Amino acid sequence: MLSRNFRLQKVGDINWLEKNYGFSNVGFSIDELIVLDVSRNERNRDEFSEVLKTLTNDCFAPIAAGGGINSVADAIKLLRSGADKIVVNSSLHSNGKLISELAQEFGRQCIIASVDCKQIEGKFYIATNNGSNVTDLTLTKFLEQCSDLAIGEICINSIDRDGTGNGFQIELLDCLPELFEIPVIISGGVGNYSHLAEGLKDARVDAVATANLLNFMGDGLASARSQLVNLGIDLPIFDLH
């Protein structure tokens, strides 16, 4: 399992994760959990499904999973291993038919479109295949076409900020059209709770995502959440009994 902090860093296998995170406890600090298989080489889907099952056991929060989804069968495998929603990224651009097939099978609310964006000369371009392939499609253009895609949410991630801890690239949101109907998640760059607050206070944002606070900051998530509540941000409070 990989996490990103300036450079890719291995934080441990599933047993390590269970021991150090205990997702059933972390669950009370988050609204939702996103689990991605970011393997660079051939993906082992059975292994990832097993990991997902172990992670999500006794975690009663919504769970989205993805990474290299190329077929309805790939999606079914994750949905039967504890996922409630499927995250699609590269397939959005290479296999548009798959998105409508997934929506027909599971409903559009089941699909989170995730886009990795890279800033080049002031414009944001979409990258695919774990960010390795920067396309000539701009984020602005993609978001304009989004209303035709059968998706339930969109997660906009900044490659330039991901793992830096310097805060969200808020300018990404300037690419959103007026009256954008699909819920927006912003991702990439969170280093502390004030970054989460900046995202949540922006009217264009429906949710904020972080891996950094989960991976490297001890009780980072729990304390970030209580700080946000203290700032008056409207978050559900999950008690522990």
Partner 1 sequence: MSKKQVVVVDYGMGNLWSVASAIRFLGAEALITSNTKEISSAKLLILPGVGSFRRAMQVIKQNSIDLAILQSLSQPETKLLGICLGMQLLGSASSEDGDTQGLGLVPNAVRKFTNTADTRLKIPHVGFSEVKHDSNIKLFSGIPSESCFYFVHSYFMELTPTIKGVATCHHGTEFVAAFEQGQVSGTQFHPEKSQSMGLNLLKNFLES
Q: How many residues bind partner 1 (CB under 8 A)?
A: 33
- In the residue annotation, 148 being an active-site residue is answered as no
Per-residue contact string for residues 111-130; x = within reach of partner 1 by CB under 8 A? --------------------
Which has the closest alpha carbon to 137: 120, 153, 124, 151?
A: 124
State in angstroms the smallest separation of the CB of 79 from partner 1. Answer: 6
CB of 140 to partner 1, least distance (A): 20
Could you say whether residue 80 binds partner 1 (CB under 8 A)?
A: yes
73 belongs to the binding site for partner 1 (CB under 8 A): no
Q: Which of 42, 121, 136, 239 binds partner 1 (CB under 8 A)?
A: 239
Does position 108 bind partner 1 by CB under 8 A? yes
Minimum CB distance to partner 1 smaller for 12 or for 183: 183
Q: Does 60 bind partner 1 (CB under 8 A)?
A: yes
Q: Within 13 Å, how many C-alpha atoms sit on residue 94's CB side?
A: 13
Q: Residue 207 interacts with partner 1 (CB under 8 A)?
A: yes
Give the per-residue SS3 of the chain: CEEEECEEEECCCHHHHHHHHCHHHHHHHCCCEEEECCCCCCCCHHHHHHHHHHHHCCCCCCEEEECCCCCHHHHHHHHCCCCCEEEECCHHHHCHHHHHHHHHHHCHHHEEEEEEEEEECCEEEEEECCCCEEEEEEHHHHHHHHHHCCCCEEEEEECCCCCCCCCCCHHHHHHCCCCCCCCEEEECCCCCHHHHHHHHHCCCCCEEECCHHHHCCCCHHHHHHHHHHHCCCCCCCCCCC
Q: How many CB atoms lie within 10 A of CB 68?
A: 19
CB 137 within 8 A of CB 168: no
Verify binding: residue 134, partner 1, rule CB under 8 A: no
* 22 scored as a contact of partner 1 (CB under 8 A): no
Identify the residue among 39, 100, 109, 135 touching partner 1 (CB under 8 A).
109
Task: Report the 10 Å Cβ neighbour count for 94.
Answer: 13
Interaction between residue 106 and partner 1 (CB under 8 A): yes
Cβ proximity to partner 1, 80 vs 201, nearer residue:
80
Write the binding mask 154 to 183 for partner 1: x where contact by CB under 8 A, - elsewhere: -------------------------x-xxx
Q: Which of 37, 74, 116, 162 is catalytic?
A: 116
**According to the binding rule CB under 8 A, does residue 12 interact with partner 1?**
no
Residues assigned a catalytic role: 116
Contact set with partner 1 (CB under 8 A): 27-28, 31-32, 57-58, 60-62, 79-80, 82, 84, 106-110, 152-153, 179, 181-183, 206-207, 235-241
